[in-house]
Structure 1
Amino acid sequence: SNGETEKKEMGEEEKSGDQGKRGEEVDAGALFVLKSKGTWWHCGFHLTTSIVAPALLSLPYAFKFLGWAAGISCLVGGAAVTFYSYTLLSLTLQHHASHGHRYLRFRDMAHHILGPKWGRYYVGPIQMAVCYGVVIANALLGGQCLKAMYLVMDPNGEMKLYAFVMLFGALLLVLAQIPSFHSLRHINFFSLLLCLLYSASSAAASIFIGTTSNGPEKDYTILGDHETKVFGIFNAMAIIATTYGNGIIPEIQATLAAPVKGKMVKGLCMCYTVVIMTFFTVAISGYWAFGNKANGLIFTNFLNPETNHYLVPTWFIFLINFFTVLQLSAVAVVYLQPINDILESLFSDPTKKEFSIRNVIPRLAARSFFVVVATVFAAMLPFFGDINSLLGAFGFMPLDFV
């Protein structure tokens, strides 16, 4: 009967969830980082934090290379393709879980479905590069937002960007020590609220500037010669791919308590409701207000380059940058989880307690090292919009769109 079949599937999933953590070789990464305790709500919070991130503030910049029709078409197409791709990926994982094989990581899934070489030499390295690239990009943008807050308080301040990147890195250093992915559920709930706040604030500021005489003259012409326009189109598509990108779907699904049936799809529906509310409002309002003068980060358009005065109240600038910094820290920690999983597998002893001295010291040292290196890289890289397009072209496109 259907009832017996469902019970059998539930039993298999629970068994496989346990095996995923205590299989033939006990895996400290799965045991300590990828704990399967979450609900679909928690999954929705993780998904929203990993997708609806401050990279969306580059969308008006992408539109300036595409124009209205192509820009909106790419935004709608990106939403449709990624929602379908993530749902398909989730259902594939769910199918294997119902047959007693619950895969907790992207590379494990690739290993068993595509073959060992795909998992080890293609999917695994690309995923790690994407995750680390996101951490670096977030550290850079976090530094830029902190500097913007500093300049609001002291317009003649002389502190350099790298100092603010280091400050953001210090915040990340503390948050990186949160033990497991599941432990981030409350932080990621606040992250969801924050992305709604800064997206609404950004759209409101763009509309305000666009309706006043202080804003730039609206020009939606795509600038440049034929070659420049072609490169611009590819750049814009890569930015949109990054904005929708998520290279950690299996790891997020791994946080769900068994049985996983239907939970991930509910989480994706929650996430894409927020996506539609934020991506489209920021992209359309920003491009409408600034046209082909839209910058790589829409916040920088709120400063008049000729007079060096803000086009909106300074307290407003301070507030939206503050919201963004807080959410950036949550996004960076989420993308550190697959790296933490590998570090835990390499350096922790699964036969000892999670918070034993034997496991805490290597965890603290390894996680701190990776955050410090990411912060140093971020301090050396000046352009957030360009990092966005690079991540999209070489990371998110092959993982999520191919």
Structure 2
Amino acid sequence: MAAHEGTNRVAPMEVTVEAGNAGEAAWLDDDGRPQRTGTFWTASAHIITAVIGSGVLSLAWAIAQLGWVAGPAAMLLFAFVTYYTATLLAECYRTGDPETGKRNYTYMDAVRSNLGGAKVAFCGVIQYANLVGVAIGYTIASSISMKAIRRAGCFHTHGHAEPCSSSSIPYMIVFGAVTSIRFRGSPSSLPSCPSPILPSDSPSASHRPSGSLTGISIGAGVTSTQKVWHSLQAFGDIAFAYSFSNILIEIQDTIKAPPPSESKVMQKATRLSVATTTIFYMLCGCMGYAAFGDAAPDNLLTGFGFYEPFWLLDVANVAIVVHLVGAYQVFCQPIFAFVERRAAAAWPHSAFISRELRVGPFALSLFRLTWRSAFVCLTTVVAMLLPFFGNVVGFLGAVSFWPLTVYFPVEMYIKQRRVPRGSTKWICLQTLSISCLLVSIAAAAGSIADVMDALKVYRPFSG
């Protein structure tokens, strides 16, 4: 079968050469697509810019809940698990031979090729649900950053004693309007996701490090139950900050053809990227906790642990908003593509779905305009109902961590490498998967419990 497939791949190249197009054939990879040019360095850059995002803003709060011992230890543990399972996932880019096997272009393709059946549907549900959740989280994060810009100016003008309170609802509407207008433009020319620019979060150079070995103490407004829930939510926050498995295969698909194999290059890139990210996270989380102590906010740039220089806070929050506008659109593209593809297949003769109006360089579709606008409105309304940044981040991290970062990479690797059931390696991999499942369940429970507690005093749409 392999020989037959190899013949099929060579035949078109022979025809191409005879037609005088040998130069074009040289620019194609073994799958007929344009030659990939990615390297160890470009893959590392892709991973780092994908991993470091808005999740970094909650790390100081997470360290504050766990303390100086458990906080950094948890961060190192998540870094190791993320790195290890990413190396397993990298092995699944090609099915069969690591250098000549069939390529899997997306995470879903890898699951379909290695596992198939109901697990493909489960993967799809988790992936798309996670993307919807990310869209809601980005709406919340951007609105509170915009709100913080206004508050910083108010504090600077009127003093820190002023409440300078305002609602985040108008800013969510603004964010939704901006993203909706951007979607109505050219959907194919979307901005990339830059990493947020974070200022130094130390109030002063002479500030003495705060915090304790066990984190926030029980008492002074924190009950023992809240301490437990917050500690569990902290695990979800850290997991969310490290999440990038769902786009690893897509990044690996940019690496040029072997030798060396794409999996070896990706594993090296992952090692460097996770190490770099961990150093950055350690500095951000630990320095934030040292600066603010138990008062570390769940969003480092909007909790106002310090007020001056106010313009530095404004610059950082503007950078966050710009980052999230682009990131929202990029993360939502798979959802839009999936719905529009299924709609086109279900109603191929519908003018509402298929007809496009060309206006200069833009292609306007009534269905795309209606559906995408409705999606933006839905995520905006949900964000208005649940404007809790830390809780949303913790829940997203908890829900997506086990299936996307651990379960599927482990199961695909076992299938791909034919790891014998009951062997030492199989037992170790399954133990890792079950342990991470328990951590995910606990972290999700902590986030949900905290949301339920907040809803007791929160009024919907009050901001």
TM-score class, shorter: 0.7 to 0.9
Q: What SS does the corresponding residue of 1:144 show, helix, strand or coil?
A: helix
Q: CA deviation at 1:161?
A: 0.5
Cα distance between partner residues in 2 of 1:234 and 1:342? 34
Which structure has more relative contact order (CA 8 Å, sep 6+)? It is: 1
Match of residue 22 from structure 1: none
In the TM superposition, 1:103-182 aligns within 5 A as 103-120=104-121, 122-154=122-154, 160-176=167-183, 179-180=187-188
Q: 2-side partners of 1:379 and 1:36: how far apart?
A: 45
Report what 1:268 is aligned to. Answer: 270
Deviation at 1:298, TM superposition (A): 1.7
Query: Structure 2: how far apart are the matches of 1:390 and 1:17?
Result: 41
- Is the contact between residue 147 and residue 161 of structure 1 (CA under 8 Å) also seen in structure 2? yes
Pairing partner for 1:331 from 322, 327, 332: 327
Q: For each residue in 1:308-344, what CA deviation from the matched residue of structure 2 results, as whole angstroms up to 9, or x when unmatched?
A: xx53211111111111112222332332232133134
Pairing partner for 1:252 from 243, 250, 259 = 250
Aligned to 1:78: 78
Partner of 1:311, secondary structure, is: coil
How much does 1:357 deviate? 4.0
Note the alpha carbon deviations across 1:110-133, whole angstroms, 9 max, x for none.
Answer: 23322310111x211011111111
The DSSP-based 3-state class of the residue aligned with 1:14 is coil
Residues 251-292 of structure 1 deviation map (CA, whole Å, 9 limit, x = unaligned):
623752663743544653564354134211110101111222
Distance 1:14 1:347, change over 3 A: farther
Which has the larger displacement, 47-56 or 340-349?
Answer: 340-349
Which residue of 2 is the match for residue 371 of structure 1? 376
1:382 maps to: 387
Corresponding residue of 1:14:
29
Are the aligned partners of 2:135 and 2:332 in contact in 1 as well (CA < 8 Å)? Answer: yes
The residue type equivalent to 2:322 in the other structure is: L
In the TM superposition, 1:264-303 aligns within 5 A as: 264-265=266-267, 267-269=269-271, 271-272=273-274, 274-303=276-305
Deviations 1:225-256 (A, max 9, x none): 55444333321111111111125225623752
RMSD: 3.7
C-alpha distance in 2 between matches for 1:393 and 1:163: 29
Residue 52 of structure 1: how far off its partner (Å): 0.8
Aligned AA for 2:282? F
Alignment partners' CA distance in 2, 1:250 and 1:116:
22
Q: CA separation of 1:139/1:327 partners in 2, compared to 1, >3 Å: closer, same or farther?
A: same
State the percentage of identical aligned residues: 26
Q: d(CA) in 2 for partners of 1:43 and 1:374?
A: 31
- Partner amino acid, structure 1, of 2:167: K
| Corresponding residue to 2:337 among 324, 338, 341 | 341
Candidates 217, 225, 234, aligned match of 1:223: 217
Q: Which amino acid aligns with 2:73?
A: S
Structure 2: stretches of 5+ with no match in the other structure: 1-5, 14-27, 159-163, 349-353, 408-463
Mean CA deviation greater in 100-109 or 136-145? 100-109
- Output one character per residue of 1:166-225: Cα deviation in whole Å (capped at 9) or x when no partner: 212233234445545xx55x734xx13xx3x31xx1xx222x347348x9x755643235
The Cα of 1:64 is off from its aligned counterpart by: 1.8
TM-score (norm 2): 0.66
**What is the identity, as a one-letter code, of the residue corresponding to 1:211?**
S
CA contact 1:85–1:401 (8 Å) conserved in 2: yes
> Is residue 49–residue 331 contact of structure 1 (8 Å, CA) maintained in 2?
no
Q: Distance in 2 between matches of 1:133 and 1:370?
A: 12
Which has the greater radius of gyration? 2
Give 1:158 deviation, angstroms: 6.7
Residue of structure 2 equivalent to 1:26? none
| 1:300–1:134 distance in 2 versus 1, CA, 3 Å | same
The answer as to whether partners of 1:51 and 1:243 remain within 8 angstroms in 2 is yes
Matching of residue 187 in structure 1 with residue 192 in structure 2: yes
Displacement after TM superposition at 1:62 (Å): 0.9
AA aligned to 1:55 is G
Q: Which has the higher helix share?
A: 1
* Partner SS state of residue 29, structure 2: helix
- Equivalent residue in structure 1 for 2:397, among 389, 392, 395: 392
Mapped to 2, the partners of 1:37 and 1:238 lie a distance apart of 35
Give the corresponding residue for 2:66.
66
Q: Is the 8 A contact 2:176 2:380 kept in 1?
A: yes
Tell me, yes or no, if the aligned pair for 1:135 and 1:332 is still in contact at 8 Å.
yes
Give 3-state SS (helix, strand or coil) of 2:91's partner.
helix
Return the TM-score normalized by structure 1. 0.75
SS of equivalent to 1:333: helix
**Mapped pair 1:102 → 2:103:** yes
The farther-off stretch of 275-284 and 68-77 is 275-284
Please point out which of 203, 206, 211 is paired with 1:211.
Answer: 206
